[in-house]
Amino acid sequence: MSEIDHGARARLDHIEQQLQALFPGQYVSFAAATAAGIPPGVIELVRAGKTIAAIQEYRNATGAGLAEAKAAIDTIR
């Protein structure tokens, strides 16, 4: 990892720690959400409060059914 990448990673870690402190029990880190297989665009929609659009986007991206998509979105809300 280059020095620039290391600095950016450290800054992102710091920002995520602050968000976790501001939103205890609600904030899901980007790494955790993407590790769960949730596309970044879906994460952005959830964070913007657009749950229905996030479910639709998840279904389009993954081919999941409605119940599966809702359950996936509920894990990151």
pLDDT band with cut points at 50, 70 and 90 for residue 3 = low
pLDDT of residue 26: 76
The total number of structural domains in the chain stands at: 1
Cα 31 from Cα 12, distance rounded (Å) = 10
pLDDT of residue 35: 57
Range of the domain at 10: 3-74
For 48-67, the pLDDT digits (tens) are 889 999 999 999 999 999 99
Cα 1 from Cα 47, distance rounded (Å) = 29
| Identity at 23, one-letter amino acid code | F
